[in-house]
Structure formats: structure tokens, C-alpha cells
Amino acid sequence: MVNKLYQPYKPNLDFSGLDHIVIGSGMGGLTAATWLAKAGKKVAIFERHYVPGGFTHSFKRKDGFQWDVGVHYVGNMAEDASLRGFFDFLTDGKLEWEPMGEVYDIADIEGTEYFFKAGKENFRKQLISYFPEEEKTIHSYLKLIEKTNNRGSAFFFEKIFEPWFSKSVGWIFRKRYSKFSQKTTWEVLNELTNNQRLIAVLCAQCGNYGLSPKKSSFAAHAMVIGHFLEGGYYPIGGADQICEKTLEVFTAHGGKIFINADVSKIITKNKSVQGIQIGEKFIPCKSVISNVGVNNTFNHLLTEEDRKVCCFSLKNVQPASAHICLYLGLNKSSETLNLPKYNLWYYKHDGIDTIFNEATLKNAPENFAYISFPSAKDPNWETKNPDTATIQAISVGNMDWFEEYKDSNWMKRGDEYLQLKKNFEKEMLNILYRFFPQIEGAIVASEVSTPLSTENFTNYKSGEIYGLAHSPERFALPFLRPKTKIKGLFLTGQDITLVGVAGAMLSGLLCATAILKFRSWKIFKEVKAKKNQ
């Protein structure tokens, strides 16, 4: 990241005349901020971390290795895809994407491999080749995915309706979608088939939305599966290019971003936003856009009175699951080590819910692992980092496993905590060596992050990476909309829409549209028209 794009927060800087303040620089905040800046608004982003980007940022170490923290691949990025058009708008077309190839995911369940091929028809044919007796089921499943996502598009678009229009018309969209959103993934699939191995294969990518089949909403499952049907893509240069290229456009339109800026309060008066508080400093603005999750926004930045005004309650919704990740640096190139572009989803058996429910710190990697190869996906890696490679291996995590260390400080949690991480590394390496024995002896750098690491940088108290759990209850929450009942307070981020960089980007688009109204689309169409000239 080029430092000229952002600056450390200092209370004596000039913050006067701001139209919009965005709290948090994740994809949702970046999208809303950039859209507003392109509309001529005076916008500033305040980020508590020492680098911007949220889960789109990467971290580096002195030995030269760099790892992504959240973005492992993105779908719908073909040049003619609508999502690609939105990213081109945000980055002025400077963000490039590399396709992952014909096979973008492989699920290994109890020793049997299942390939996920790019293209809906390729996906269909491959599944039928594995389960020929379930051909009718597979056709029905893909039709159901399409139907669910069509209704989902209307459901999310309804979030920008004004209250009167939402009450008179919007309820139709919500009701039609509830047929799918209010059922779990397992309930829907179990109505299609009793073949548990087929259900396990169809749910093998459930880590992308963070819940097992019996807990996740089928709506979330359908959106994620549909998102990747045409294959996976990776940002050339690494995940942090998403943030960097967007910030280049944002700052070029007068936007400013401040790091080490830990917002402590959103100040309101008479149900109207006045500004934000950082330490002793009050910064006024016309509106505040929160991109730090609804739990952090309402429970930590607003008052009890504000929560009542917004009818906020998470009584029936839990935070999403947490994770533990092993980051590896190797002293040979991806090509030399024959590392793949595809991701590997490993399950010890096809009881995915059992694996997630019975996970412990000791057995997590033995039963489940998601393995990704960022350096193999990025065509620029070898140029910048010759004769090296990187791997990330993730398993399910739980904040309760680290309860006794919650009051300790990052990088200073003691020898016992370090030993726990070392034990996890050992168990995960056993899985890695089983599938990729050629990496043994080539590892020169390793690091483990736990839910405490996530909590430290995101302030998500359960160490979750996906915000609110993508359960059926989540889709019934009335306050998950860009516009709140407090005048001038808006919400963005994956809690408003769905998990992932695409879901967060969509939330930013909805937020900008809620503020700019139809002018938002006018700006987008004007930019797109210029590009096509």
C-alpha cells in the first residue's frame, strides 16, 4: 500500500465541512465512500487499524512474505459480468483479475475428490458424473439456486425503499424470499435427496459463508454457490490491490482516509446524527456511515436510547463462526512445488455439521481444512517475489478456546498461548503434508492467527470474520438496511447484505443509493458510457 493514500489520525487536523464520515475501511465502506466522492461529496474514512482495507488488506513480514487476511477468491469477475462492472467503476478499471482455471475448488471428503468446474453446465455435468443416479436431483438443485437468487436480488434491492414504499410493496419481496431464507440449507437439500454424500458435496464450500448445513440459511448458500458457478478469480497483485486501487480513485476525488482512528462514539441529538467522537475530539458531519458491523455500531458506538429508536435487537442471532489460520512462506516457487490455483476443501467424513459442532482446538485440522495458494493464483507473485510461494490453511475456530487470554495484548499473550498456536500448526502441517508432500523442507516462515487476532484488528468480540451468522433468523431482522431511523445514520458492510467482498461491495452500493437516490445510478451509467466510447 502506498502511504500517500492515507495518513495517521491526529486531533489537530482540519476535519471541517465533511458531508459524510465513514467508520471502517472494509469493502462496504470503501464502496459507499468512493461512490459518494464521485458524486462530489466531501467524504472522510476513519479506520482503527494501522492499514486500511478491512478483510481486503494483506499483511507483510520482514522476510518479504505477504498474505491475504480475507479474500481468497471472488466469483462473477468475467469481463462482461455485472459485478465486474461495479468494481471497474470503483477502481476506474485499474483492478485486474486472474481466472483460477477450469477447476477452482476441490472437495476431498473421506478420501474421495470432487471437482468444482467453472461454468454452470460444466458444474452440472461434473456432479452428474459423480452421482448419475441423482441427475434429476441435480437439475432441480440448480433450478432452485437460480430461483432463490432471482428472488434474492429483489429482496436486497428492497432495502433501499423508503419506509412507506417498503410497507406497501416491499413486504411482497420479503415474503417471496422467506420461502428460502427461512429454511436451513440442510432442510432444503434434504427435501431434494436423502443422499448424504451428495448433500455434503453440495455444501463443501460452506466455509465461504461460515455455517454448517443445519445452521445456515439456504438463501446464503444459494447466493454463494451462484456467485462461483462461473468460476473463481483472484486480484492480480494480491487482495490488497482491491483496497489500493479503490483508494486511488477515492482520494483522486477529494476523499481522505485516516488510520489509527478509533471512533468511540457516534454522537446523536433528537434522533439525528451530529458527528463522531475520537478520544476527546468531536468531528461534526452531515451523516455517518458505519461499516464496522451492526453489533459494534449499536452496542458500542450508540446509546441505549438510539438502539430503542432503531428497534435493534440481536436476541435470536449469533455472530458468525471464527477461524484459525496457518500462514506459510516457502523458499521455492509455486511452479517448482507444483502448487495449484484451486482451493482444497478437506473433510474427514461427510458429517459436516458434526465436524463443526464437535470441533476442538486439537481436532479441528484433523477433521476440516480449507487450503489456499495465493502465490499460485497471482501471476505477478513470481516477478515481485522470485523463487518463493505462500500457502494459507484454515480450520474452524472458537473464541472460547482462548478465553483465558482475552485480556492479554496482541503479540504479548505469553508462552502458553504461543504453544497452543504451535500445536495447531503441527496438526495442520500433518494435513498439508498428506495432500502436498512436496512442500516438506521448503517452509521458511510460518505464523498462526486465532480468533483473538481477528478481534484485535476488527473489534468483532467473538473473533468472527463474517459478522452476523448467515442463519434463517438473520434474514428476518428489519433493521439490516442502509438507512436507519436515526436521521443521517447509515449502515454498510456484509451485515446489511451477505458475506464476502462481493456482498460487502453490494452493501456499499445500496448505501450510496439510499443517500444519492437515482443520482447514484446516473453517475454509474455516465462513467460506464465513457468507458465504452
pLDDT at residue 58 tops 90: no
**Predicted pLDDT at 524:** 67
**Predicted pLDDT at 526:** 65
Top mean pLDDT of 122-136, 311-325, 395-409 is at 122-136
Of 148, 219, 139, give the one whose Cα is nearest residue 185.
219
Tens-place pLDDT, residues 59-96: 888 778 999 988 999 999 999 898 999 999 999 999 99
8 forms beta bridges with: 259
The residues of the chain that CATH labels 3.50.50.60 are: 3-56+73-80+236-317+468-532
Separation of alpha carbons 337 and 375, rounded Å? 11
Query: Nine-digit cell at 54?
Result: 478491512
Percent of the chain residues topping a pLDDT of 90: 89
Q: In what order do the strands lie in the sheet with 343-347?
A: 112-117, 103-109, 343-347, 368-372, 389-397, 322-330, 443-449
Binning pLDDT at 50, 70 and 90, where does residue 359 land?
very high
Tens-place pLDDT, residues 27-48: 999 999 999 999 999 999 999 9
Query: Nine-digit cell at 398?
Result: 472458537
pLDDT at residue 250 tops 60: yes
Full DSSP string of 268-295 = EETTEEEEEEETTEEEE-SEEEE-S-HH
**Predicted pLDDT at 3:** 62
Taking each helix axis from N to C end, the angle separating 218-228 and 500-516, rounded to the nearest 10 degrees, works out to 100
Distances (CA, A) of 216 to 145, 187, 454, 465: 15, 10, 22, 15
pLDDT at residue 379 tops 60: yes
pLDDT at residue 208 tops 90: yes
**Predicted pLDDT at 261:** 97
Average pLDDT over residues 188-205: 98
Strands 20-23, 233-235: pairing is: unpaired
Tens-place pLDDT, residues 479-532: 999 999 999 999 999 999 999 999 999 999 999 999 998 777 677 666 556 555
Query: Nine-digit cell at 57?
Result: 488488506
pLDDT at residue 271 tops 70: yes
**Predicted pLDDT at 525:** 67
Could you tell me which CATH class the domain 3-56+73-80+236-317+468-532 is placed in? Answer: alpha beta
Tens-place pLDDT, residues 274-283: 999 999 999 9
**Predicted pLDDT at 523:** 73
Of 216, 167, 225, give the one whose Cα is nearest residue 188.
216
Q: Is the pTM of the predicted complex or chain greater than 0.85? A: yes
Mean pLDDT score across all residues of the chain: 94
Helix (H, G, I), strand (E, B) or coil at 465: coil
**Predicted pLDDT at 2:** 44
**Predicted pLDDT at 25:** 96
pLDDT at residue 320 tops 50: yes
**Predicted pLDDT at 244:** 96
Residues 465 and 494: beta-carbon distance below 8 Å: no
Tens-place pLDDT, residues 451-468: 999 998 888 889 998 999
Percent of the chain residues topping a pLDDT of 70: 97
Query: Nine-digit cell at 443?
Result: 517452509
Tens-place pLDDT, residues 112-153: 999 999 999 999 999 999 999 999 999 999 999 999 999 999
Separation of alpha carbons 430 and 166, rounded Å? 53
Separation of alpha carbons 479 and 491, rounded Å? 10
Rg from Cα positions in the chain: 22
**Predicted pLDDT at 1:** 43
Residues 77 and 249: beta-carbon distance below 8 Å: no
**Predicted pLDDT at 64:** 80
